[in-house]
Structure 1
Amino acid sequence: MYHVDSAKYNHGAHEVMDMHETLSTVIGGLDQCVLLRDQIQDPELRNMMDRQYQFCVDEYNTLVECFKTGRDPSQPTGHYQMTEDNKFTYGIKPGQPKKPITQASELNDEMISGYLLSSHKATATAKLAASLETTNPVVRRVLADSIPNCIEMAYEVSIYQNRKGYYQVPQLSSQDTVTITNCYDTMSNNQLQ
């Protein structure tokens, strides 16, 4: 077996391929923001996309740096701070059925915010999968530290969508919710024998 003693090449094959997939997913999301930004009608959505885009660019650069060098990045992973509150409106109102668009002119803020949400979900999934296969401890830590940021950005988008009526949140009946939440109980922390 050939051994390279440099941290720069301290990557396993699964890690390299998963990082390739992860970085490609991040690039796809960033490219999508560039392509869709000028189509946004709501200044609030544009502002959210701009903040998230800049944060994601910084995080992408941090991830690329540590992947290339195998060492701690010069800029540590930040923590995304959303500006939305965390209030959701529950329930479903009837509306028009969804279907794919057939013309670019049909694009609207509901769709764009949906693409943004999907991008964050895909990126979180890719980063999680990559972090489970990563052998380089720095890259693994940077990946793991960045997953909560994807979650926070997706959450911010979903709150925005909910407030605008784009993202409806159904609920079970109170009785069913109580029944299911009470299906589980804590246990004592005894050691296995």
Structure 2
Amino acid sequence: MPSQQDYGGHDMFDAHEALSTLTGGLEQYLLYEQHIQDQELMAMAQRHRAFCTQLYNTIVETFKTGQDPTVKTQSYEMQQNNNVVYGMQPSAPKTPSQSVNELNDECLSGFMLGSLKSTASAFTMTALEMTNPVLRRIFADSVPNMIEMAYEVFLYQNKNQYYQVPQLQQQDMQTFQNSFAPVQGQMPH
């Protein structure tokens, strides 16, 4: 069984940074929830915060002990469907808000997405070189959960036209799709 000493200095720095990123996200969500208007977005933010709080406790316990946590890594289940709206609709040019009162659900969901993307990146970087196998697995197993939460926010933004998805012309898409081909012949061993 790994002991508390099964960490290198690099592990300490990376785990500390990943935990700090997660902590910052949790604290930011507290701020966002004060301003969210849409009940669907509020429910999503509260689910994310509850899930990430449990994950935080799991990581902290393992970081301190080097052992399997009391509460194992969970799997986040998003509640959005996978329908993406393609195409662009004209909208007014965006400018930065000049007052907290100008922050709206579009801004707040964008902040949520940014926070989740940062956490996914921090967890990925930490998992790549962690010497403690238990903590490495927790960070690695948590990346798909950050991805799922971020994707859920993206889908919410897309359906509300906050995040528009342009498409290429069919001919251009096919050119991209046909720009790679499978390797032919015997595969190397």
- Which TM-score bucket, shorter chain as reference? over 0.9
What runs of 5+ residues in structure 2 fail to find an aligned partner? Answer: none
Question: What letter matches 2:12 in structure 1?
Answer: V
SS at match of 1:22: helix
Question: What letter matches 2:129 in structure 1?
Answer: E
For these two proteins, the number of residue pairs brought into alignment is: 188
SS at match of 2:88: coil
Q: Shift in Å at residue 189 of structure 1?
A: 5.9
Question: What letter matches 1:64 in structure 2?
Answer: V
TM-score normalized with structure 1 length:
0.93
Q: Distance in 2 between matches of 1:147 and 1:119?
A: 13
Q: Shift in Å at residue 110 of structure 1?
A: 0.5
Q: Shift in Å at residue 140 of structure 1?
A: 0.7
Q: CA deviation digits over 1:69-106, x for unaligned, max 9?
A: 11111111110000100001111122122222111111
Deviant stretches of 4+, over 6 Å = none
Residue number among 115, 118, 121 corresponding to 2:117 in the alignment:
121
- The residue aligned with 1:58 is 54
Q: Shift in Å at residue 185 of structure 1?
A: 2.2
**Residue 182 of structure 2 corresponds to residue 186 of structure 1:** yes
What runs of 5+ residues in structure 1 fail to find an aligned partner? Answer: none
- The residue aligned with 1:26 is 22
Q: Distance in 1 between matches of 2:67 and 2:76?
A: 23
Residue number among 72, 94, 97 corresponding to 1:98 in the alignment:
94
**Residue 64 of structure 2 corresponds to residue 68 of structure 1:** yes
Question: What CA RMSD, in Å, does the superposition of the two structures yield over aligned residues?
Answer: 1.4
Question: What letter matches 1:141 in structure 2?
Answer: R
User: Is the 2:2–2:67 contact (alpha carbons within 8 Å) kept by the matching residues of 1?
Assistant: no
Q: CA deviation digits over 1:150-193, x for unaligned, max 9?
A: 0000000000000111011111111111111122222356225x
